[in-house]
Amino acid sequence: MVSVYLMGFYVLVLAMFVGFEIISKVPPMLHTPLMSGTNAISGISLVGAVVAAGKGEGALAIGLGVAAVICGTVNVVGGYLVTNRMLRMFRRK
C-alpha cells in the first residue's frame, strides 16, 4: 500500500518539474494566451474535484474535495477574467 502512495508522489514531483521546465521556456509575451489555453484543463480538473468531493468517504476526503473545488473555481474564474482582459486589448476603438 505504501508503494502506491510513493508512486503517486513520484508522479506529482515529476509533473511539477516538467511543468516548471515547460513554462520557464515560454516567452513572457505568450504567458497569457498559454494560461487561457490551459483554462479548459482547469475546468476538467474542477469536474474531478466535484466528483471527489461528492464521493468522499470520510471527513478528510470531503474536506480535501471541497478545497479542490474552491481552488479549481478560483483558477477557472481567474483565467476567464485574464483572458477577457487580454481580448479587450485587441478591440478596435
Over residues 73-81, the mean pLDDT reads: 85
Kindly report the pTM of this predicted structure: 0.61
Identify whether the C-beta of residue 79 lies closer than 8 Å to the C-beta of residue 38: yes
26 torsion bin: left (phi>0), alpha (psi -120 to 50), beta (else): beta
Position 17 confidence tier, pLDDT thresholds 50, 70, 90: very high
* Whether residue 56 has pLDDT greater than 80: no
* Whether residue 91 has pLDDT greater than 90: no
Identify whether the C-beta of residue 79 lies closer than 8 Å to the C-beta of residue 42: yes
* Whether residue 14 has pLDDT greater than 90: yes
